[in-house]
Structure 1
Amino acid sequence: MAVYRDSRQTYMMIGLGTIFLSLVIIIVMAFVTSKGTYVAPDNIHGEWIEIGTPNQQTEVLQFSDRGVHRDYKLIATKYQFNGRIATVKTGSGLWVYEKVGSKSSPQLRRITPRMPPQRFILKGYQHTLSGSSSGSGTNRRDAVKKHFGD
């Protein structure tokens, strides 16, 4: 009788341990998956259009699995992106972009080189920019104003 009770308790402990371990694994997998989605390179994938420049001088950056294109010409086959900062090494130097803006108006700001200042918006979100398209200074001021609040 005592042997039966001990084996029953053992099976119950093994069952509870298995359930607990399964829950821990599910929670860890959910965390890793959500963290991976946040810093995944496709959070920056797409065409980024320069803000505040005349149409004939607007630069277009494209991040993809195949690398980085500037004005539809390949400039780098690799880049690093940590969820906020994109680093691109080219033959002409290091280019660093910071993801700014919001989910409703995703934007990139060039950090390096600092001059001339550049901002980009993800293609398809141009309608979220305020201001006229008459002058480059006006558009850049409007973009900075929107980013930092009124």
Structure 2
Amino acid sequence: MKTNKRHLIQTILLFTFLAVSLFALGLLAMGAVKRGLFEPPPIDNIYGVWEEQEVPGYMADAFEIREDGIYVGGSIVTTRYNFNGVTLTYHVGQQLYLYTYSSQKLIRDKPAHYRSVFVRK
């Protein structure tokens, strides 16, 4: 009797999984769900001037990301940076800068004096 009940539960779970999968595929086929929903943002989404938030304006950091490098105060500080769609990294001298891209914001993880949030100007 236990095996019949277990077999019934497994069968129900299998058919539920198949129904949900077919429903999801149907949504994709109809275009109701975008195919690129889970893809990282393209690199050109980070180009621009980024300003620090939640600090007084006179203390706010700002930097610009261009195709050819990272700029601070109008001067280039590095030509080498890496953005993989989630994290931005670069070095200025020996100092590593590490940012996490989330919800159209860059959050500075290193150097971490305090939690720095940057938004594009």
Q: TM-score, normalised by structure 1?
A: 0.51
The runs of 4+ residues in structure 1 deviating greater than 3 Å are 37-40
C-alpha separation in 2, matches of 1:107 and 1:66: 21
Query: What residue is the counterpart of 2:62 in the other structure?
Result: 60
Query: What residue is the counterpart of 1:141 in the other structure?
Result: none
Query: How many residues end up aligned between the 2 structures?
Result: 85
C-alpha separation in 1, matches of 2:58 and 2:75: 16
Gaps of 5+ in 2: 1-35
State percent identity of aligned pairs. Answer: 26
Query: What residue is the counterpart of 2:74 in the other structure?
Result: 72
Gaps of 5+ in 1: 1-33, 124-150
1:115 pairs with 2:113:
yes
Q: 2:47 aligns with which of 28, 45, 54?
A: 45
Is this contact kept in 2: 1:107–1:122, CA < 8 A?
yes
Is this contact kept in 1: 2:69–2:78, CA < 8 A?
yes
Query: What residue is the counterpart of 1:89 in the other structure?
Result: 91
From the two aligned structures, give the one with the greater strand fraction: 2
Deviation at 1:48, TM superposition (A): 0.7
Query: Relative to 1, partners in 2 of residues 1:57 and 1:117: Cα closer, same or farther, differing over 3 Å?
Result: same
Is this contact kept in 1: 2:101–2:107, CA < 8 A?
yes
Q: TM-score, normalised by structure 2?
A: 0.62
After TM superposition, the structure 1 = structure 2 runs for residues 5-20 of structure 1, keeping only pairs within 5 Å, are: none
Q: Secondary structure at the match of 2:58?
A: helix
Query: What residue is the counterpart of 2:5 in the other structure?
Result: none
Deviation at 1:63, TM superposition (A): 0.7
Deviation at 1:118, TM superposition (A): 1.0
From the two aligned structures, give the one with the greater helix fraction: 1
Query: What residue is the counterpart of 2:10 in the other structure?
Result: none
